Amino acid sequence: MTELDRDEFTAGYLIEADEHVRSAIANLLTLEQALRSGSPQHRHIRELFRSLHTLKGLSAMVGVDPIVDIAHEMETILRDAERGSTKLTVEAVEVLLEGIRAIELRTSAFAQKQAIPVAPTHLLEALAALQTSQGSARTLATSAGADKDSLVLDAQLLAKLSPPELEQLMASIAAGKHAWRIDFHPSPERSAAGFTISTVRERLSEIGEIVKVLPLSVPRDANAPGGLVFALLVLSEAPPAQLASASGTDASKLTPIALSRAAVSSDASERGSYESDPDDLVQGNRGVIRVELSRLDDALDKLAALVVTRFKLANCVNELRDRGVDVRELTTIAGEVHRQLRDLRRAITRSRMVSVGELLERVPLIVRAMSRSTGKQVRLSVDAGKAELDKAVAERVFPAIVHLVRNAVDHAIETPEERVRLGKAPEGTITVTCFEHSDAQLELRISDDGRGIDAAAISRRAGREVPTDERGILELITMPGLSTLDVATSTSGRGMGMDIVRRIAVDMLGGDLTLQTTPGRGTTFTMRLPLSISILDSFSFVCGTQAFAVPVAIVDEIIDLTLEHVVVPPAPVARARAGHTRQLAARLLKRRGEVIPLFELASLLQLEAADPARCKAFIVRSHGQPFAFSIDRVLGQQEIVVRPIEDPLVRVRGVAGTTDLGDGRPTLVLDLVGLSSVASAGAMA
Amino acid sequence: MLKILVVDDSKVMREMIIACLRGVPGLEFSQAASGLEAIERLSLGGFDLVFLDLNMPDIGGFEVVEFVRSQDTLKALPIIVVTTRGEESTRTRALQLGASRFMTKPFQPDAVVAELRSLLHDRLQDHVQDRLTEVP
C-alpha cells in the first residue's frame, strides 16, 4: 500500500474535526469571558492548543492543507500563551474565532467534496501579527509567586507540577477545599477487576476534580508488578472511603495535601474567585460516542426488514392454526418477538435524540457577533436542561431559533442609550429556555426584555387592521414578506421574515407557535414541537393538476404508459362503469407477459386526468399482487416530513398523512397499497 | 504474533497508523487513547513496539518515553514517535530521551512500514518464513 485510502477515514476525520471545532469555540468563548473578568483560565488555553494541534495533524493526514496552515498559526499563538511567554488578549480571541470559522468552512467543503479554499491571507497575516504583538492591555497571566514551598507535598511531585497546577491546588486548599494524593498501582488483577488508570480517573472525576496524574517509577514488588505507580492529585469533598473505593484502594492509602501556615494567611481571600469559574460551557463528554446518522438509519432499515419477517412468521402461524396444528407456544413466541421488535425500535429512535443544549451551542456565538455589529449590549441566557429532540427535528428547527434570536437582537433590544433613557439596564437580556412539555412535545421559549412589538405601526405599514389580540399580532408579523423594520439591517430584516419561523414550526413540523408581547417590556415566542417526526424518502408527482407524494419504498417501478400496453378488459368489469368518465380498474396493463390491473389515480381521487398518452404509472405490490396507478408526471425524489392526520373525520383510507413539499401548501402523502385495496373493492362492486 | 501498541488520543489517527501496517503479516494491535493508559499497559508488559503521539491531554509523549526508559524491562522497547509539522524542534529531545524513531505527519504507509521493519527486522513473520523456505 503506497497511499492511505483517504475516503476510508473521511467520516472519522469529520467527526473528530467537528468535536475539536466545537470544543475550541466553547473554550474561546469561556476564555473571552475570563479575560474580561480577569480570572485566569489556563486550562482553556491548554485545551485550545490541543484541539488545534490535533486538527492540524489530522488535516495533514487527509490532505486538507489550508486547515494545516491556519491551525499552525493559531497553535503557535496558543503555545506561546500556554508557556507564558506571551499573553493572550481579548483582541486575540476575536482573531482566533475567525480562524476557527475559517477552519469550519473548510471542513464542510471537504465533507461536500468541494474544492477547499486556500487559507485567507488576511487571516494568516492577522494571526502572524498576534504572535509578535501580544502582551498588551487585559492579559491572561498566571499570577506570579506560586510558592512551591508552601505546599506540603512530596518534593518529587512538586517538581513535576506546572505553575498553573500548583496555583490551582493552593488556591483551592486556601479556599477550604480538600485535596488528596491517591496512589494507584496498576496490575493485571486490578485491571481484570475493572481498575485501570482510565476507569479510576473517570470515577474520581465524577466525585472530584483531578488536578494532575503523575506516573512514578517504583521498585517492582507484589503491589506494583509493573514498577509503576500513578499519583493522582485530587480536589474532592467526598469522604475518604468513597475516594478509596473509586480508586480500588483503601482509605489508609490516601494522603491529604495541606498548605503550610504562611501561605494560608497570605493569599486566601484573593484566590477565592476560583470558585466561580465560568466553566459551564466546557464539559467533558464522558460515556458519549458520536455516530454517523446514516448508521442509525441503516439500523432502522434493517429493523423494518425484520418487521416484515415477523409478519411472515405470523402468517405462517395462522396458516398452521387453520390446518388444526397446536400453535399456542408459537403464538407466544411470535408475541414476544413483536414486543421485542417494538422495544428495539424505541431504543433506536431514542439513540437518534440529540441534546437541545448541544443544539443551542452556537447561539451564544451568533448573539456575540450580532451585538458587535449592532452596538447593542446583550446578555444571553440559555437553559435547555436535559431536554432532547430527534436529530431530524433539531436540524429543521434550528434556523427558526436562530431567526428569532437574531430578530430579538436586531429589532427588540434597544441601544444602550435608549435603554438607559427608558430606565432599563443598558444590557438587554435574551433568554432561551426549553423543557419537555409532555412525552411527545417540547416547549422552546425565546424571550427578550426589549421594546415589544408595535402592532399599530406594523399594521399601518402592511395596510391591515390593527389586531386586537396576540394571536392577531402573530398572524400579522408572520405574513409572508413582512419585515419589522423599514431599514434593512445587515443580519435580519432582509427578505426572510417571521413567516419562515411559522412555516418551520407549524407547517413543516406540525407544532405550534404563540407569542406574548408587552410594549416597552419585551416579547416571548413559544414554540411547541414534536419530539420526533417521521422522515420519508418520497417521490413527488402531479396527478390531475395537484401534487402528491408517495413513499419510495412502496414503488416497485415507474413506467411510461403506452397505449398499446393498455387493454380494455372483457365484459363484467367494463360494464360496471361503461360510459362513465370515472373508470376504476376498467383497464389492464400488459407487462412482461403478465396482465395487471391499472387504476387511473385521477379518477380514484375524483380529479381531472391529463392526456393519457403522456402518462406514467407507478407499479405497486399489495399482498404480492402487482397493481399499476397512472399519474400525470413525476416531479422528483425528496425527503419529506410526514405528519399524520389526527382528526378522525378527515382520516381516509389511502392517505398516509400530509407534508409540505416546500411551497408552504399541504400535500397529501398517498398510501397506494391501501388505495389499491379500496380500488379493487370498488372494481368488484 | 508481534504486539504493537498505538498511542494517540485521536481515534482516526490510531486507525490510520494501523491501516498503514495492514500489509505486514503477524502483527497484533492494541490501542491506548492517553499517555497514562499507555504507561499503564506498557508497565504490565508484553509489547514489541510502540507508536506514540507526543501531544495528548493528560501526560505527553515525552513523559511516556521517559518512563519507558526508566524501566529495566522496557529499556529495549522500540518507540516510534509520531508528530505534526512544526514540532521538528522536539525531534532532538525525543531522541535524547530514548525514542527510537521520529515520524512527521503527514506520512505515507510505506514510510511507516519501513520504520517498523528497520526496528523489528528479523522478528517479523514474513522474514522468518523467508528464511525457513530457504532451508532445503
B106 at interface of A, judged by CB pairs closer than 8 A:
yes
Handedness of CA A498, A501, A504, A505 (dihedral sign): negative
Per-residue pLDDT at A278: 33
**Residue of chain A nearest B111, judged by CA positions:** A2
Nearest to A93 by CA among A107, A105, A77: A77
Q: What are phi and psi of A598, to 5 degrees?
A: -120, 120
Per-residue pLDDT at A51: 92
How far is residue A373's CA from residue A620's CA, in Å, rounded to a whole number? 56
The beta strand positions in B9-94, using DSSP E, are: 27-32, 49-53, 79-84
CB contact under 8 A, B19 and A61: no
Q: Domain of residue B84: give its range.
A: 2-134
The x, y and z cell numbers of residue A375, run together, are 452596538
Helix (H, G, I), strand (E, B) or coil at A95: helix
Mean pLDDT per block of 10 residues along chain A (685 residues) reads: 75 90 90 76 85 92 91 89 77 90 91 86 85 48 42 70 77 82 89 89 89 84 86 89 87 76 36 31 47 75 75 82 90 87 80 85 85 88 87 86 90 93 94 85 93 86 85 85 49 55 84 90 92 79 88 84 73 45 61 84 79 77 81 84 71 79 81 79 54
Handedness of CA A131, A135, A137, A140 (dihedral sign): positive
Any alpha helices (H) in A535-671, and if so which ranges? 571-576, 601-604
Higher pLDDT, A623 or B41: B41
The whole-angstrom distance between B5's CA and the closest CA on chain A is 16
pLDDT, chain B, mean: 85
Burial tier of A308 (Cβ tally within 10 Å: 0-12, 13-18, 19+)? exposed
| DSSP state at residue A498 | T
CB contact under 8 A, B37 and A198: yes
Per-residue pLDDT at B113: 93
Q: What is the DSSP string of B81-119?
A: EEEETT-TTHHHHHHHHT-SEEEEES--HHHHHHHHHHH
Any alpha helices (H) in A38-120, and if so which ranges? 42-62, 65-83, 90-111
How far is residue A95's CA from residue A128's CA, in Å, rounded to a whole number? 10
Q: How many CA atoms lie within 13 A of B110 on its CB side?
A: 3
B73 vs A contacts (CB less than 8 Å):
227
Number of helices followed by number of strands (H, E) in chain A: 23, 23
How far is residue A271's CA from residue A585's CA, in Å, rounded to a whole number? 85
Per-residue pLDDT at A151: 63
Question: Which among A8, A16, A72 has CB closest to B19?
Answer: A8
Q: What are phi and psi of A202, to 5 degrees?
A: -65, -45
Q: Once rounded to an integer, what is the mean pLDDT over residues B89-99?
A: 83
CB contact under 8 A, B12 and A13: yes
CB contact under 8 A, A228 and B23: no
How far is residue A22's CA from residue A15's CA, in Å, rounded to a whole number? 11
Which H/E stretch holds residue A541? strand A534-543
Contact in structure between A673 and A555 (CB atoms under 8 Å) = no
CB contact under 8 A, A217 and B85: no
Question: Which among B22, B44, B63 has CB closest to A215?
Answer: B63
Q: Secondary structure of A192-243 in the HEC alphabet?
A: HCCCCHHHHHHHHHHHCEEEEEEEEECCCCCCCCCCEEEEEEEECCCCHHHH
A636: phi > 0 → left, psi -120 to 50 → alpha, else beta; which? left
Nearest to B60 by CA among A217, A213, A233: A213
Which H/E stretch holds residue A633? strand A633-642
Contact in structure between B107 and A1 (CB atoms under 8 Å) = no
Which H/E stretch holds residue A679? helix A672-684
| DSSP state at residue A285 | -
How far is residue A517's CA from residue A459's CA, in Å, rounded to a whole number? 15
Per-residue pLDDT at A449: 95
Per-residue pLDDT at A194: 87
Helix (H, G, I), strand (E, B) or coil at A466: coil
A76 at interface of B, judged by CB pairs closer than 8 A:
yes
Q: Tell me, what CATH number does B39's domain have?
A: 3.40.50.2300
Contact in structure between A424 and A449 (CB atoms under 8 Å) = yes
Question: Which among B43, B57, B59 has CB closest to A228?
Answer: B43
Per-residue pLDDT at A584: 47
A483 at interface of B, judged by CB pairs closer than 8 A:
no
Give the residues across from A589 on adjacent strands: A566, A596
The whole-angstrom distance between B136's CA and the closest CA on chain A is 32
Contact in structure between A659 and A669 (CB atoms under 8 Å) = yes
Query: What count of other Cβ atoms lies within 10 Å of the Cβ of residue B136?
Result: 3
Number of domains in chain B: 1
The x, y and z cell numbers of residue A575, run together, are 360494464
Query: What count of other Cβ atoms lies within 10 Å of the Cβ of residue A242?
Result: 15
Q: What is the tens place of the pLDDT at every residue in A24-47?
A: 998 998 888 888 776 656 788 888
